[in-house]
Chain A
Amino acid sequence: MKEVGDITKMPRGIDRGLAGCHVCHKVAPVSVERCPRCGSHLHLRKKDSIARTLALVVASAVMYVPANILPIMNFRELGVRTESTIISGLIQFWNAGSYPIALVIFTASILIPFMKIASLLWLCAAAKGKIPNSGKTLGKVYWITELLGRWSMVDIFVVAILVTMVQLGNYMRVTPGPGALAFASVVILTMFAAMSFDPKLLWDQLDSPPEKTGPNPDNEP
């Protein structure tokens, strides 16, 4: 392997006007606009990456509230109606002694969405240079965020299955609640947010630290 020097002084595509196609990975000068192999749009950095990511993250953070407060399912047993939120379902499993399954639901439905929102905000702040940045660590954070996103969908599928299975006439029925829609939109919005974030921005920030033109007035006595 080649000798690894200072990782902030690696030859970057952006310095030479070369773009790696996002779809087929071919390297081409960005000036040709479309990838000569697969025809996808070429760009050095994803367009308005931070603004788009932030917008989607804020939207999903807003939806996170009703997703946890509103019932995701309504149970109707012999005419008695009980509402079930994500947290009440979790508590039910915990009280019944099914700790492993309670942990799975806690991780997929509460922890992962929360961590995704938090880590995307962290990534955006780091890419903007507002907080210290280590490309390697944050790159991993980004990779994990993208990887885990889909697993939060599990609660929506549980709703789908219960609604289908528990249709026992007057004896017992399950219907979907408004929380399900809110929760599904959190998952989908965070997935789009993760996709619109460009991890290369983290490295741009490392290559050219706080690029303020002229002396910073705050540092002058």
Chain B
Amino acid sequence: MICHFCDTIHEAEPIPEGSRVSCVCCDATLYQNRPASLARVTSFSVTALLLMLVVHTAPFITMDAADLRTKLTLPGAAMTLIEEGSPIVGVGVALFTIVTPFVLSSGLVYVCAPLMFGKSAPGAMTVTRWMNRTEPWNMIEVFLLGVLVSLLKLGHLAELHFGIGFWAFTVLMFCMAAATAAIDRQELWDRLEVANEK
């Protein structure tokens, strides 16, 4: 094994579940053996996908002011930005809060579910490579912070009601965090390699 931060070569040895080994040179985590990784990733990602259905259709927040009612949904927010003259920012918001989480969780299901049975889905390696790339761009937890800040800005202005979308989104955030935290990269790649050789 080679440390990704300082290039130091280490001898890889099996370690007990739930423990981690750090680089002797720079203390960075080399490898963490995560328990029941594939099952956890799959179940949390499936839950996340189901929640996305709710999140994108049910309103987050409804606001009543001056006889007018406005609603917030994720696709709605991206669309309004595009219509109001900021198409690039709108596309960015859609990418970071809709596309990336979807690609990530559906990719995880696609790769990890068959792997639990020792099978490799067609193109699983390519999908895993792409997920690696999209992971840092998943910003749903940042969006939730944005929702909270906006609520404080709007609170004195109008009457606000939390919708199902908001609660679904909060749970979605925890599911995505749990799914990505459960990924055991070493195990994932080792199993992919074995499954592909069959």
Contacts and interface: CB of A to CB of B under 8 A. Distances in A.
A98 B142 CA distance: 20
B193 A37 contact: yes
Nearest to B96: A153
- Secondary structure call for the A interface: helix
A161 B70 contact: no
Contact of A200 (B1, B6, B85, B89): B6
B181 to A, nearest CB: 14
Interface string A103-132: 011001000000000000000000000000
A201 to B, nearest CB: 10
B20 interface: no
Given A39-B125, A156-B93, A176-B86, A161 B146 contact: yes
Interface in A1-55: 1-2, 4, 7, 10-14, 16, 18-20, 22-27, 37-40, 44
- Secondary structure call for the B interface: helix
Interface stretch (B32-40, B107-115, B147-155, B170-178): B147-155
A165 B63 contact: yes
Contacts, number: 198
Interface residues on B, range: 35 or more
Contacts of B142: 150-151, 153-154, 157
B84 A163 contact: yes
B139 interface: yes
A71 interface: no
Contacts of A18: 2, 9
Interface in B15-45: 24-28
B133 to A, nearest CB: 8
A158 interface: yes
B80 A157 contact: no
B167 interface: no
A136 B27 CA distance: 8
B86 A25 contact: no
Contacts of A150: 136-137, 139, 142
A172 B28 CA distance: 51
B183 to A, nearest CB: 12
B189 to A, nearest CB: 4
Nearest to A194: B136
A13 B65 contact: no
Most A CB contacts (10 A, CB to CB) among B68, B142, B152 go to B142
Interface residues of A, number: 71
Given A12-B8, A163-B80, A38 B2 contact: no
Nearest to A176: B86
A159 to B, nearest CB: 7
A25 B185 CA distance: 8
Interface in B125-162: 125, 128-129, 132, 136-137, 139, 142-143, 145-147, 149-150, 152-154, 157
Q: Which 10 A-B pairs have the closest CB atoms?
A: A157-B146, A20-B2, A176-B86, A161-B150, A24-B189, A203-B6, A10-B8, A164-B77, A160-B77, A200-B7
Given A156-B92, A160-B77, 5 more contacts: A135-B25, A143-B5, A157-B147, A171-B68, A181-B86
Interface of A: 1-2, 4, 7, 10-14, 16, 18-20, 22-27, 37-40, 44, 93, 98, 101, 104-105, 108, 135-136, 139, 142-143, 146, 149-151, 153-169, 171-172, 175-176, 180-181, 184, 188, 191, 195, 199-200, 202-204
